[in-house]
Amino acid sequence: MITLVIFHVPAVDNVGFLIDGEVFHPGDALTVVDVPTLLLPGQAPWLTVPGMIGYLRRMTPRRAYAIHDGLVNEWGLKVLDDVLAMEAERAGAEIRRLRPGESVEL
């Protein structure tokens, strides 16, 4: 005999982090805030490229740096870089992926 027990686990709130009014890390929340620098999720199981671009366009930051791309292979990173370059040109903003070890001064 097998007994099946079902537990109810409440949903966890998604949290974003705003640092000094300058940099926003949205976590999984994709909250829209007025901020000059966005750390943009570049890949996630719940994120599509159109969803990523839509969020980026709603945010309209002066700078956006793709993060959260550790599971993407070399071909996927190329696609991500190309999409970000097209959006940078369209928006007239600095939008790109930082390479491992690279830093920027804000």
Q: How confident is the model at residue 32 (pLDDT cuts 50, 70, 90)?
A: very high
SS3 for 1-59 is: CCCCCCCCCCCCCCCCEEECCCEEECCCCCCCCCCCEEEEECCCCCCCHHHHHHHHHHH
User: Other C-beta atoms within 10 Å of 65: how many?
Assistant: 19
CA distance 29 to 90: 25
Q: How confident is the model at residue 10 (pLDDT cuts 50, 70, 90)?
A: confident
> For residues 97, 100, 102 and 104, what is the CA-based torsion angle, rounded to 10 degrees?
50
pLDDT per residue as tens digits for the range 49-89: 999 999 999 999 999 999 999 899 999 999 999 999 999 99
The pLDDT value recorded for residue 20 is 96
The pLDDT value recorded for residue 5 is 78
